Chain A
Amino acid sequence: MEDNEIIALFNKRSQSAVEEASKKFGGLCKKIASDILNSKEDCEECVNDTYMKLWDSIPPANPNILSAYIAKITRNLALTKYRENHRQKRGSGNTELVLEELENFLVSDKTVEQQAERTELVSAINDFLSQQPKDKRIIFVQRYWYCCSTAEIAERNGISKTNVTTLLSRMRTALKKYLEERGL
């Protein structure tokens, strides 16, 4: 089913809307949740919550890219769940590795909120990404947005894990410099 047809089902408040969304994007949601969380139960809960949030948000929302919209909901829910879990115990999904890579990434010890308004920072990151070659941008987003493992990124993009690690390291450095130059 086409994305606009699924959105139309949500707008009509049709019970099959969630079913169709689940058929088309269930795998994507599970993948994102499982890469961030390390528990089948948490993952299932996160995916179910995604559909609930989808139901609550469309309408009024009318997403341009439904896959990205759903993926973003799942990611945010999974990160929230991860944060809750992390307060109690150490997880072992990809998220910790991603967090470690981002260590010392920003300029100072100030919190992100103190350094820049969120929108300004997002805008700068978007500008940075727009200047990157598509293949590099894809790898960056696969790692830091989808929290994919480096091995998986290597396989999906036909390069070695070492190349992925090196490329990400260079991109982190370049992004850091880019943000520093803009006082962020």
Chain B
Amino acid sequence: MSIEENFNFLEILSDIDEEYVREAGTEENAVQPQFIHPRLKRRKPVFAIAGIAACFALIFVIGIALSRNSGAEITQTLPPINTAVNTTEVTATETAETTEENHRIMEPQDNTKIDLFSSVINDAEGKEYELKLYMYHIDNGDDMYNAEAFAIKEGMLRGNVAAELLYNGERVFDQELVIGSVGQVAKSYYIPEIEDNFKVLHFDGGDVFSYAYSDDGELWFTQFYTIRDGKLEVMERYFSDEERKQIEEKTTGKGITPAKAKYEFITTNKFTTDQNRIIYELDFETSGMSGHSYEIGSYSTGEIPLIFDFENSTVRCEKEEYAGLVYSYFDVV
């Protein structure tokens, strides 16, 4: 099957019943997403108790307010964003229909952004930069997809993430950070743990910025960056010989050639650093999915050492047996 034939099939799908197109493209089918972080799920009993206590407290306060001034207007204020998020630049406003605590949709306005992270980071020559991350909203012009694309909901902060570099206080570079699934509209981060997703790590060879997006709270998609010529540069991961062999076996005769490099790693949130290595600890067995554009192999407990090569801005896995641990992107020819 050639790419051209697949393409023909896609074109043939254009002619399917318009009713199916309509029902899949309208919001009536869309169950509202539940952004309940796995860690929030585990804490449900705590939240339940806290919620009951809060209800009693609210009734008590309202009772006192009414008894003191029966004509007074009682206003409900939204809680501030967790202190993990610097809200000094937030100019977002909540919409009228979302007034529940810890649940608000922010209306995108010009210059609306929320600071997520800030750290000093050095380039290979020892020049000191300030790296800032912020969350913002990209309006793609489609109300259906913009809805809740920039929001606080169920303890999650949701939006697009971008980075900027400052040198001597002046912005010299900025870039939208893309990680996770291709085409994903926005990222969701559990507010109290936002800073866990962004780290500047110091190695013998230089500084590395680690940008992670956790899909399930356990395994993370991660990209690594260094600073070169005043810009953030992805540390690409090239296939090892063993990986190349495995991928070639899978792709031979299928009209697909493996890409030269991979950009995202599957990691965990437990790691240590040593010289120019970062060693992730995987303390549970898991297996990934297949049949997609990428494959994640099954893998078991152990240490996963990644070695950074600062001269070439690359990073590779030291253990050949972990081939398939990371995303395998393919070039289609």
Contact = CB atoms under 8 A, between A and B. Distances in A.
Interface of A: 26-28, 30-31, 34-35, 63-65, 67-69, 71-72, 75-76, 79, 83, 86, 90, 92-106, 109, 111-113, 118-119, 121-122, 125-126, 129-130, 134-135, 137-139, 141-142, 144-146, 148-152, 154-158, 160-162, 165-166, 169
A26 B29 CA distance: 20
12 contacts: A27-B142, A31-B145, A63-B18, A71-B25, A72-B21, A76-B11, A94-B182, A104-B254, A113-B8, A122-B16, A129-B16, A152-B183
Nearest to A150: B181
Given A72-B21, A112-B8, 18 more contacts: A27-B146, A30-B140, A31-B140, A31-B145, A63-B18, A71-B21, A75-B14, A103-B6, A103-B256, A105-B1, A105-B9, A106-B9, A118-B12, A130-B17, A141-B25, A142-B24, A156-B30, A165-B289
Contact of B29 (A65, A134, A165): A134
Contacts of A105: 1, 6, 9
Contacts of B254: 103-104
A162 B5 CA distance: 27
B245 interface: no
- By CB atoms of chain A within 10 A, which of B1, B4, B14, B31 has the most? B1
Interface string B270-293: 000000000000000000010111
Contacts of B242: none
Contacts of A97: 182, 292-293
Per DSSP, chain A at the interface is helix
B80 interface: no
B33 interface: yes
A144 B141 contact: no
Contacts of A92: 182
A162 B289 CA distance: 7
Contact of B16 (A69, A145, A152): A145
A122 to B, nearest CB: 4
B23 A134 contact: yes
A66 B188 CA distance: 34
A21 to B, nearest CB: 14
B306 interface: no
B18 A138 contact: no
B29 A30 contact: no
Nearest 6 A-B pairs (CB), nearest first? Answer: A27-B142, A149-B183, A158-B31, A141-B24, A151-B181, A68-B18
A152 B183 CA distance: 8
Given A93-B182, A151-B183, A28 B25 contact: yes
Contact of A28 (B17, B142, B215, B330): B142
Contact of B12 (A35, A72, A112, A141): A112
Contact of B215 (A134, A161, A165): A161
Interface string B313-333: 000000000000000001110
B255 interface: yes
Contacts of B29: 134-135, 138, 156-157
B7 A99 contact: yes
Interface residues of B, number: 56
- By CB atoms of chain A within 10 A, which of B10, B14, B183, B185 has the most? B183
A156 B28 CA distance: 10
A109 B136 CA distance: 47
B7 to A, nearest CB: 6
Contacts of A28: 25, 142, 144
Nearest to A169: B291
Contacts of A96: 293, 332
A125 B16 contact: yes
A34 B140 contact: yes
B234 to A, nearest CB: 14
Contacts of B204: none
B184 interface: yes
Contacts of A72: 14, 18, 21
A102 B6 CA distance: 6
